[in-house]
């Protein structure tokens, strides 16, 4: 598992100094592409993601032992997501990988002990915080991309947009970066996440994921550091995090929480350096970015080794760990030395340049004072960490667990070695710093006497004094002292949100479907409806037509329209449920007739089948409902209210359609589709649109249908009194009939015989419709619906037992298989060198038939057919299981052979 991250880091180092770009087609019609770019900043991050990741994965093998494949696999998946994030040169692609790291983090934090409430809360808190502000960041991406006319990051940085869009977009992006990098006041999720296993904390919360926000700021700083309020906002938040994190870390007795608050402090330092927008600060920031991963990850791993050896990580309970783990203590001391800025470690080299970056007048002096104060706090809590983890105790025989110690030694040694070769680090990091303005400055172990070395000495001396004054004793859990508690703020926000949701739910979720529909309709009328009417009244809508449109082109249209209106009005005043359902179906059948008169037989056929299936399903449901509507729905006031809402909704929809048709600014696409159909020798333009020209839309729609089927099954089968859709023995029976079983509920023998006779015929007709879709009304969608009707015929006389006997496979297999076939057919376009869902003709010689060519769109349509059939069967079988009376089954004789 560690090989792939290690190879990635090696490849990045091998290409250091070069700029490598790649472009993979995604959805070119929408202007989307997977743009990738490797440059100096990407190399630094890939060294952390790949190099530290490989070491952590080796450590995990010893830490967890065998049988932790899910943990290892998720860590590797996280490494892949971070690699994609670092290489992304497109804002939208970066966002996709950004959220993948969030999901991976959620799994890793709550993986080890999912039954513990604290672990689940921590994982959820990290997910909610980073995802919520990630959505804010996405809005910023869209604002910047639309303002600049491109989502390519390198192009945005080279030529950033100006004005208000740039300011708003930059602030929104910074909010997402602050949350991801746990900046105050959005930092509470990081200390809470310390319930995660040590390897997860070392990788995600020290070396990789928390660096994503800092990386994004560094990536955009060359273009946006001059946009107000970028620099003041970044410096203020970074310095606040640097100081608050250091102060709180100094008072922790849990070593992992101490390191977590220290990480918040160091990330604030990085935010200041990489967001400042100057060359020297960027050079220091990139060097500290690498140094931080090389000293903070081994410190987390050292805590894991101590806890593994002693059973605790609380400093007030540890004693003598340094004598029992001498090699580990030396390696951890080296890592702390790099963190607090002791030469010749890389941390010292980076801090020297950081002090130089702000050794100027004006505002920079205030920033320098904050950076020095934060560095002093780093010294204090760094020494406190060593004292708490390894001091005290009596002479004991050393017993270093080498599988846990060697990774710590390797990373600490890497930080030491990197500090010895500042010239090599300059060659690695320098190209990124040169993209920003400012005087030149180089990484070096010795710059002579001056402000940087003086500030380093001040930080060390003041830090030692802070440790002597405040850090020598550990407060324990009972000690109370004030500090900014973001966790309480988070709990208050979540608690208030939940309370508000409960209050709204109690008011709106009354259990009445008419009430739900009424609320939805009223909101539609209040928001988009009022906006539409106001626009038309002010004259900002489309120009009115030159003359009155024709009311009808054929007298039959008027007749059908009157039938539709009459059925709708009658359904409104119907007192019985069955009559209302039948009248509503009359509305649908009337609309199908109008489609026929307007030359759309394919739409008419589909609507007729849908209305028929809906009618049958509703009739089945009505078996468990009272014959008449409840009294409160029959009141005059209720009828008047629903009537007014219905009329307003109908008027709004009609007005919207007229306004939309008059507001057309682009030529219609219909004629173009017709020409393409003629070129492809296709007579059914509707089916061509569904399975070829707009196949991506169809794929999304059938995915929604699959989710609907699973949702219906879950709701029905997991509700109170739920029963399985059919006994297993019926699933193994012959699918043409169930011998020896009397009709359920005394059904008509004639109906049962007719159903068994018609069902195969209807199935054959559905196959005909599937193949006829090329040149006649039909296709996979309507064919799947008709096939579903065949099984409805089997269900009506015999119930769910007859249906179970008739099913050749489980409905879930049809749902998943149909969706899989559709996706596989779309991938055929990729395989042929084209785009996803591009139709490709597959040809070959078949015995007897000769040369045969089939388009991949036919297989896509077959997937639609199977998925729609699976949806009908899923709903029918689950509803059948819930609607049938279990007492009826008890009255049936045992199944056996016919006498």
The confidence band for 476, taking pLDDT boundaries of 50, 70 and 90, is: very low
For 739, the 3-state DSSP assignment is coil
- Structural element, H or E, at residue 37: strand 32-38
pLDDT at 257 exceeding the cut of 50: yes
**Exposed/middle/buried for 869, CB within 10 Å: 0-12, 13-18, 19+?**
buried
pLDDT given for residue 894 in this prediction: 42
What does pLDDT average to over the chain? 83
The confidence band for 620, taking pLDDT boundaries of 50, 70 and 90, is: confident
Point out the least confidently predicted range of 104-108, 573-577, 737-741, 875-879: 737-741
Contact (CB, 8 A) for 819 and 702: yes
Per-residue pLDDT reduced to its tens digit, 756-800 = 788 889 999 999 999 888 778 888 999 999 999 988 888 887 777
pLDDT at 196 exceeding the cut of 70: yes
Q: Is residue 647 part of a domain?
A: yes
Contact (CB, 8 A) for 254 and 314: yes
Per-residue pLDDT reduced to its tens digit, 242-252 = 999 999 998 88
615 CA to centre of own chain: 37
pLDDT at 473 exceeding the cut of 70: no
Higher-pLDDT residue of 799 and 153 is: 153
Q: Is residue 54 part of a domain?
A: yes
pLDDT at 360 exceeding the cut of 90: no
Domain that holds residue 766: 515-541+553-661+669-813+866-884
Per-residue pLDDT reduced to its tens digit, 818-855 = 999 999 988 887 777 777 778 877 777 777 767 777 88
What's the rounded Cα separation, in Å, for the pair 155 and 21?
13
Point out the least confidently predicted range of 401-405, 651-655, 789-793: 401-405
Residue where a domain stops, chosen among 196, 228, 260: 228
Q: Is residue 793 part of a domain?
A: yes
Per-residue pLDDT reduced to its tens digit, 796-815 = 877 777 777 777 788 889 99
**Secondary structure E strands in 100-193:** none
What's the rounded Cα separation, in Å, for the pair 459 and 262?
16
Contact (CB, 8 A) for 101 and 237: no
Residue where a domain stops, chosen among 189, 204, 228: 228
Q: Is residue 569 part of a domain?
A: yes
Q: Is residue 739 part of a domain?
A: yes
Higher-pLDDT residue of 14 and 630 is: 14
Cβ burial 99-119 (10 Å sphere, 16+ → b, else e):
bbbbbbbbbbbbbeeeeeeeb
pLDDT given for residue 319 in this prediction: 65
Residue 38 backbone dihedrals phi, psi, to 5 degrees: -115, 120
Point out the least confidently predicted range of 223-237, 370-384, 876-890: 876-890
pLDDT given for residue 480 in this prediction: 46
Please work out, in degrees rounded to the nearest 5, the angle formed at the alpha carbon of residue 380 by the alpha carbons of 376 and 385: 145
Per-residue pLDDT reduced to its tens digit, 285-318 = 999 999 999 999 999 999 888 887 777 888 777 7
pLDDT given for residue 735 in this prediction: 42
Q: Is residue 697 part of a domain?
A: yes
Per-residue pLDDT reduced to its tens digit, 662-672 = 777 778 888 88
pLDDT given for residue 29 in this prediction: 64
pLDDT at 694 exceeding the cut of 90: no
Q: DSSP string of 86-114?
A: HHB-BHHHHHHHHHHHHHHHHHHHTSS-T
Instruction: Give the pLDDT mean for 170-190.
Output: 92
Domain count across the chain: 2
pLDDT at 882 exceeding the cut of 90: no
pLDDT at 860 exceeding the cut of 80: yes
pTM of the complete model:
0.71
Secondary structure percentages of the chain, helix, strand, coil, to 5: 70, 5, 25
pLDDT at 550 exceeding the cut of 80: no
Q: What is the C-alpha radius of gyration for the chain, rounded to an integer number of angstroms?
A: 34
pLDDT at 660 exceeding the cut of 90: no
What's the rounded Cα separation, in Å, for the pair 275 and 173?
13
Higher-pLDDT residue of 25 and 123 is: 123
Q: DSSP string of 191-228?
A: HHGGGS-HHHHHIIIIISTTHHHHHHHHHHHHHHTTST
Per-residue pLDDT reduced to its tens digit, 76-104 = 898 999 999 999 999 999 999 999 999 98
Cβ burial 258-297 (10 Å sphere, 16+ → b, else e):
bbbbbbbbbbbbbbbbbbbbbbbbbbbbbbbbbbbbbbbb
The confidence band for 721, taking pLDDT boundaries of 50, 70 and 90, is: low
Q: Is residue 182 part of a domain?
A: yes
For 853, the 3-state DSSP assignment is strand
pLDDT at 396 exceeding the cut of 60: no
Residues 6 or more apart whose Cβ sits within 8 Å of residue 697: none
Q: Is residue 96 part of a domain?
A: yes
Residue where a domain stops, chosen among 207, 228, 249: 228
Per-residue pLDDT reduced to its tens digit, 414-467 = 999 999 999 899 999 989 989 888 887 888 888 778 888 899 899 999 999 988
Cα separations in angstroms, 520 against 509, 533, 584, 834 = 12, 18, 20, 43
Instruction: Give the pLDDT mean for 858-864.
Output: 91
pLDDT at 891 exceeding the cut of 80: no
Contact (CB, 8 A) for 213 and 177: yes
pLDDT given for residue 890 in this prediction: 42
Q: Strands 32-38 and 20-27: what pairing? A: antiparallel
């Amino acid at each position: 598992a560690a090989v792939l991250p290690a190879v990635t880091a090696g490849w990045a180092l091998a290409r250091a100094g070069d700029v490598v770009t790649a472009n993979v087609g995604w959805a070119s019609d929408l202007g989307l592409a997977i743009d990738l770019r490797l440059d100096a900043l990407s190399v630094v991050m890939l060294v952390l993601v790949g190099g530290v990741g490989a070491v952590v994965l080796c450590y995990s093998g010893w830490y967890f032992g065998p049988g932790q494949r899910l943990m290892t696999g998720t860590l590797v998946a996280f490494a892949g997501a971070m690699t994609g994030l670092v290489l992304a040169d497109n804002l939208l692609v970066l966002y996709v990988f950004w959220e993948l790291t969030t999901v991976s983090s959620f799994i890793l934090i709550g993986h080890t002990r999912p039954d513990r409430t604290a672990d689940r809360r921590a994982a959820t808190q990290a997910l909610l915080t980073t995802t919520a502000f990630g959505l804010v960041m996405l809005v910023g991406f869209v604002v910047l991309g639309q303002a600049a006319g491109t989502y390519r990051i390198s192009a945005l940085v080279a030529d950033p947009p100006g004005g208000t869009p740039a300011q708003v977009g930059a602030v929104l992006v910074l909010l997402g970066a602050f949350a991801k990098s746990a900046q105050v006041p959005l930092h509470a999720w990081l200390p809470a996440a310390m319930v995660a296993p040590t390897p997860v904390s070392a990788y995600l919360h020290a070396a990789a994921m928390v660096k994503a926000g800092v990386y994004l700021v560094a990536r955009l700083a060359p273009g946006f550091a001059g946009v107000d309020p970028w620099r003041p906002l970044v410096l203020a938040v970074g310095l606040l995090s640097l100081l608050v994190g250091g102060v709180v870390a100094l008072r922790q007795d849990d070593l992992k929480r101490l390191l977590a608050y220290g990480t918040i402090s160091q990330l604030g330092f990085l935010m200041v350096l990489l967001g400042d927008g100057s060359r020297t600060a960027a050079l220091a920031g990139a060097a500290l970015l690498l140094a931080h991963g090389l000293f903070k990850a081994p410190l987390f791993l050292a805590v894991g080794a101590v806890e593994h050896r002693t059973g605790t990580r609380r400093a007030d309970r540890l004693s003598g760990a340094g004598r029992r783990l001498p090699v580990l203590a030396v390696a951890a001391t080296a890592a702390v030395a790099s963190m607090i800025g002791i030469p010749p470690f890389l941390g010292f080299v980076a801090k020297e340049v950081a002090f130089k970056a702000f050794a100027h007048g004006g505002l920079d002096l205030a920033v320098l004072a904050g950076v020095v104060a934060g560095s002093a706090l780093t010294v204090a809590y760094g020494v406190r960490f060593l004292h708490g983890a390894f001091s005290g105790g009596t002479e004991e025989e050393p017993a270093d667990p080498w599988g846990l110690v060697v990774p710590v030694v390797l990373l600490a040694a890497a930080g030491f070695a990197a500090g010895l070769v500042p010239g090599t680090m300059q060659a690695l990091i320098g190209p990124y710093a040169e993209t920003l303005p400012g005087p030149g400055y180089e990484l070096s172990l010795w710059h002579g006497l001056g402000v940087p070395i003086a500030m380093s000495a001040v930080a060390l001396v003041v830090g030692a004094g802070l440790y002597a004054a405040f850090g020598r004793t550990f407060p324990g859990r009972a000690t109370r002292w004030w500090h900014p508690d973001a966790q309480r703020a988070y709990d208050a926000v979540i608690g208030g949100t939940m309370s508000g949701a409960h209050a709204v739910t109690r008011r709106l979720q009354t259990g009445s479907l008419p009430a739900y529909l009424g609320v939805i309709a009223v909101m539609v009328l209040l928001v988009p409806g009022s906006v539409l009417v106001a626009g038309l009244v002010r004259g900002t809508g489309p120009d009115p037509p030159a003359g009155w449109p024709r009311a009808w082109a054929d007298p039959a249209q008027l007749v059908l329209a009157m039938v539709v209106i009459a059925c709708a009005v009658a359904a409104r005043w119907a007192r019985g449920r069955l009559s209302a359902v039948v009248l509503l179906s009359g509305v649908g059948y009337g609309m199908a007739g109008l489609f026929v008169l307007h030359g759309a037989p394919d739409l008419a056929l589909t609507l007729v089948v849908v209305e028929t299936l809906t009618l049958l399903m509703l009739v089945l449901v009505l078996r468990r409902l009272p014959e008449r509507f409840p009294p409160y729905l029959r009141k005059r006031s209720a009828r008047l209210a629903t009537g007014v809402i219905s009329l307003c909704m109908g008027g709004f929809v009609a007005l919207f359609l007229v306004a939309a048709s008059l507001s057309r600014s682009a030529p219609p696409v219909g004629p173009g589709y017709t020409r393409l159909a003629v070129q492809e020798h296709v007579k059914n333009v509707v089916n061509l649109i569904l399975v070829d020209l707009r196949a991506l839309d169809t794929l999304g729609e059938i995915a929604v249908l699959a989710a609907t089927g699973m949702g219906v099954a879950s709701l029905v089968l997991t509700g109170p009194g739920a029963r399985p859709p059919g006994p297993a023995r019926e699933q193994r029976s012959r699918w043409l009939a169930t011998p020896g079983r009397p009709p359920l509920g005394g059904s008509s023998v004639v109906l049962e015989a007719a159903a068994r006779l018609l069902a195969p015929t209807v199935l054959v007709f559905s196959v005909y419709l599937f193949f006829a879709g090329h040149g006649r009304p039909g296709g996979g969608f309507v064919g799947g619906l008709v096939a579903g009707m065949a099984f409805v015929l089997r269900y009506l006389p015999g119930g769910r037992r007859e249906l179970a006997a008739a099913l050749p496979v489980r409905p879930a297999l049809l749902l998943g298989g149909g969706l899989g076939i559709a996706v596989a057919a779309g991938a055929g376009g990729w395989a042929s060198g084209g785009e996803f869902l591009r139709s490709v003709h597959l040809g070959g010689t078949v015995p007897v038939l000769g040369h045969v060519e089939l388009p991949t769109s036919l297989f896509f349509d077959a997937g639609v057919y199977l998925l729609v059939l699976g949806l009908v069967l899923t709903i029918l079988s689950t509803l059948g299981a819930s609607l049938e009376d279990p007492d009826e089954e008890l009255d049936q004789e045992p199944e056996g052979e016919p006498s």
